[in-house]
Structures are given as C-alpha cells and as structure tokens.
Amino acid sequence: MNSEYDLIVIGGGPAGMAAAVQAKEDGVERVLIAERNSYLGGILPQCIHDGFGLSEFGDLMTGPEYASAWVRIVKDADVDYLTDATVTDIRRPEREGAGASGPAETGSAGFVLKISSFSRGMEEYFCRAVILASGCRERSRGQLRIPGSRPAGVYTAGSVQYMMNIQNYRPGTTAVILGSGDIGLIMARRMKWEGIRVRLVLGEKASGLLRNYIQCVRDWDIPIRFSSTVVKIHGRKRLTGVTVAPEKPDGTPDMSAAQYIRCDLLVIAAGLIPETELWNCLRRSEGKKGGPVAGEDGVSTQENGFFLCGNTVKQYDTVDEVSDSGRRAGRSAALWIAEKGCCGELSFSALPHRVFSPQHVMTEADMEYLSSGTETDRSGDRTVYCICCPKGCRMTVKMPEYAGDGGGCGRTDFEVQGYGCEAGRNYAVQEVTAPKRIVTTTVAVSGKRDILVPVRTSEAVDKSAVERILSVCSRLKVRLPVSAGEILKKDIGGAGSGIDLICCADCVRSGSIGSGEKLS
C-alpha cells in the first residue's frame, strides 16, 4: 500500500468537500478527497444558474460560485485531494494468516481502496474510515424503455447541460424535454436562451420547485404538459421526432390521442439513481448483500466506519442541504475515528445549526392557478409567488387606486400580504411594477473554441432587457486568466444602470473549477 489516511472521502462535490473540511476542523489530520473529474465541485461548475448558497453563505450564488467558495475552504483547511481519480474497488484489509475463505472480520480495522488516477496510475490506499459522496447518475432512455431506433440526439439533461455550459457545443435546434423536475425546467430556459426552440416539456406530474417553473418556463412561454410521456423515438442517423401520448389513470399511454412532434433533440430529465456501486463492491468482498441503510443520523450505515452523505443518501432539493449532510457525515466519521483511538485527541465544536424551510414544489393546483390567467382578482389585487428562495411564498399585493391609475404603474406604496421576509415583500412590489431577473450565461474565450467562462449580472435586470444582454454576451470574448468576482463588462445593463457582468469562476488554462491534482 502506497498511502495511508485516517479518512478518505469518495467524491469532491459539495457534500464531499463539506465532509472533508468538517472532519479536518474536528482534528482528523490525514484526510483525502478522491474526485473522478479533473476539478473539484462535482456537477456544480456546469450548473451556471443561480439559486445556490442562501443558507450556507447567506448569498444568492451560481453553481460555479458555490463550488469556488468551497474549493477555497478546502484549500484553506489543507485537505489533500486527488483529481482525475477513480476508486475502482474497496474492501476490508485481510487479517494476517487468513485462509482461502476470504477476508477476516476486522471490525474497525479500516478499508483498502484501489484508486486509478491519470497522473499516478493504479495505487492502493488504506484508511480508517470512508465517506461515500459520489452523488447520483441520471436515468437513461434505456431504463425508461422508450421504444424506437437509436439515433443521435437523445441525451440526458446533465449531458446537454455539460455540452452547452462546459464544452461550448449546441446539441440541436429543436427540443422536447421529458421530465418536469428542476433540471428539466432549468434546461428549458437555458436552451431557449441559446436559440434552441423548446417544443414541449413533458412530465408525469408537477415535480419541480415552483420558482423554477415561474422563472424558467412561465417567463419564457415554454409549453408544459403533465400526465404525458414519450412513447416512440423516430429517426435513424439523427433524431427526427418523437411520438407523445397522454397517460391513462392506470399509467399506460393512451395511443388513441398520440401526437407526433418534430424535433432533433430529446432531453431526458427523468430522475436520478444513487451511485452506490462501491458499497456493493465492499459488501460482495465480505460475502454480504443489500444496499446501504442510513442510520438515525442519516449518514452512518450498517458497515462500521462507512458513511454516506449528499445525494448518495437521498435527493435533496437544494445544494445547501447537500453540504449540511456532508458536514454531518464528516462529524460522524471524526467521532468514529476518535472512538477507535486511531489518531490523536480530537476537538469538536458545535455544528452550524441550519433550519431549512419547506420547499414549495409545484403542484397541479399551482399549475391550474398560474395557467388560468386570473392572477388579478376583481378588486385589482395581484397574486405573486416569490422566487427569492425555494420556500415560494404566495403573496397578495393590494393595488392602490387600481381602476383609476392604470394598474398602479409607478407606485411603490403597495400593501403586501403573505410574505415571509423583507426580500420577498420587495420582490412582490418589483414584480407588479417592473419585473427583474438575474441573467446567468457563458461567454467565449478568445482563441479557444472549447472553453467557456460562466458569468452573471451583478444585479437583477429588467426582464425586457434579458434578451439584449444575452445578445451582448454571445458576442463577447474574454482573455484568460480571469477570476471569480472579476468584472468582465461594465454597465452591461446600459444607460448608466451600474449593472456589470461578473465572472463566476477562476479560469486559468481551462474552463474548469479548481487547479487539478493536489496531493501531499
């Protein structure tokens, strides 16, 4: 064995980084993160939209900004990390003198991990405890058993997101999205902004956060249909269209109402499956079966010294909850290591106590209400759903002198009911007077066709100005290096608005977050 650690965290996303940092803060000296990408951050660098960090950092951040913040914390904590590294096997160490029957029952003896990395080849690492923070993989077309041929143009939502936001590649011109969860709604807007016509978003039921429906689908008049699915894929070399059909009460498609929709891109956003293959490797090596069962703390398992966190445990609605899960796993692993006397005396401070508000997931009732065109009642009062945070407060704005002054245009002295915070109240007034949105997109790099820099506006801009700003960004080219927080174009809002275009990630020689391998 080439290396020995107290704790190895498998996965360098928001959960894995939080787990490693927490264990390090608790006094665990030798901590390693093994990440299969060439950068830390998991999928966050490709999630260029905002909505991250409200609970963790008290600020509204994009995915790359949230990842960059945690990468800095990892580096400041002096946590070892190895990128371009894949854990291929995990087992308990064999007891000296064990026979052909296999590995011995070693209890708390630790784990042996085989890690294959681009720069170091195949190596074995020993550790006292393991945290699995490998996240989820997407459900594919094959798992959904959609009949038809196998043409180019059928991708999962995460793949399309990576192509567009990292690789600078537009995968099609006309799209149908299967799946009405958050990633499906977010990608509908992203494709619309990049000039891809979104013919339809399909879903079994309303399942995304209400704020994503409002700002990603409703704002841009993207058609959405529930209780419907794709029943056939058409095309040989390239996708030419799909057949969609409504679902009967028993879940089977009603082929009598089937409809053909011409498209060259089918985006599948139909759910996630936890990545637990390494757990299965460990169990098989011990002659055991069964998936991981989280303990009362939500992170421990039936295997001593083996912990889970993040979306490997369950699908969280926000990344802040994922990081919180990582912190709890790091604390539990540190306690385990301390109890076994595997390292020096540890010191434990109180974990940050965060209360996460219930998330307002879009419901059929919400859809019916928002699609009815009755957001203004007879008295002229307006109903506004807040998009400032996932709570999605439903607010009523009483419009003064509604009938006499054209809807209260220009007024700010509105009475607002139902808001949960001052930011929500301000949003409600803004929404009925001059709606504004944050613009998040990418800009090209001069001389590099396959590198993109994630950017956002420093403040929300008038919704009517979004397309103009996107047009400016499409023509803009920057020179590397650039740093997160750097102003790439001043006054992009125009007319002395003071709204600038801000870089969301450190980009030196590539479009990725972080600086690659760092191993002591």
The answer to which of 232-241, 258-267, 352-361, 499-508 has the lowest mean pLDDT is: 352-361
User: What is the distance, to the nearest Å, from the Cα of residue 100 to the centroid of all Cα atoms in its chain?
Assistant: 45
Token pair for 49:
């939209």
Number of Cβ atoms within 10 Å of the Cβ of 23: 32
**Looking at this protein, which amino acid is placed at residue 471?**
S
* 430 phi/psi in degrees, rounded to 5: -60, -40
Using CA atoms, how far apart are residues 484 and 504, in angstroms rounded to an integer?
A: 5
Instruction: Give the pLDDT band of residue 378 (cuts 50, 70, 90).
Output: low
Tell me the residue length of the chain.
520
Positive or negative: CA dihedral 116, 120, 123, 128: negative
Higher pLDDT, 286 or 472: 472
Nearest partner of 17 among 66, 60, 58, judged by Cα: 66
β-pair partners for 502? 456, 487
Nearest partner of 375 among 358, 401, 394, 356, judged by Cα: 394
**Looking at this protein, which amino acid is placed at residue 47?**
C
The share of the chain scoring above pLDDT 90, in percent, equals 67
Strand 121-132 to 306-308 pairing: parallel
* SS3 annotation, 209-245: EHHHHHHHHHCCCCCEEECEEEEEEEECCEEEEEEEE
Instruction: Give the pLDDT band of residue 344 (cuts 50, 70, 90).
Output: low
**Looking at this protein, which amino acid is placed at residue 145?**
R
Using CA atoms, how far apart are residues 290 and 219, in angstroms rounded to an integer?
A: 45
According to the model, what pLDDT value does residue 209 have? 87
DSSP assignments along 236-269, one per residue: SSBEEEEEEEEBPTTS-B-GGG-EEEE-SEEEE-
**DSSP H or E stretch at residue 200:** strand 197-203
According to the model, what pLDDT value does residue 461 have? 94
CB 225 within 8 A of CB 200: yes
- Phi-psi bin for 388: left (phi > 0), alpha (psi -120 to 50), beta? alpha
Query: Residue 80 above 50 pLDDT?
Result: yes
Query: Stretch 73-100: mean pLDDT, rounded?
Result: 83
Nearest partner of 51 among 319, 305, 363, 278, judged by Cα: 319
CB 345 within 8 A of CB 334: no
Query: Residue 404 above 70 pLDDT?
Result: no
The share of the chain scoring above pLDDT 70, in percent, equals 88
Using CA atoms, how far apart are residues 102 and 5, in angstroms rounded to an integer?
A: 24
Using the CB atoms, write b or e for 483-505: b if 16+ within 10 Å. ebebebbeebbeeeeebbbbbbb
Using CA atoms, how far apart are residues 388 and 391, in angstroms rounded to an integer?
A: 8
Instruction: Give the pLDDT band of residue 105 (cuts 50, 70, 90).
Output: very low
Look-up: residue for tokens 């499956």?
A: 273
According to the model, what pLDDT value does residue 103 have? 39
Query: Residue 152 above 90 pLDDT?
Result: yes
Token pair for 130:
């393991």
Using CA atoms, how far apart are residues 299 and 288, in angstroms rounded to an integer?
A: 20
The model's pLDDT over 117-137, given as tens digits with 9 standing for 90+, comes to: 988 899 999 999 999 999 999
Using CA atoms, how far apart are residues 49 and 27, in angstroms rounded to an integer?
A: 35
Query: Residue 411 above 70 pLDDT?
Result: no
The model's pLDDT over 439-473, given as tens digits with 9 standing for 90+, comes to: 999 999 998 888 899 999 999 999 999 999 999 99
Helix axes 63-76, 14-25, angle to 10 degrees: 20
Instruction: Give the pLDDT band of residue 517 (cuts 50, 70, 90).
Output: low
Query: Stretch 284-290: mean pLDDT, rounded?
Result: 88
Query: Stretch 387-407: mean pLDDT, rounded?
Result: 73
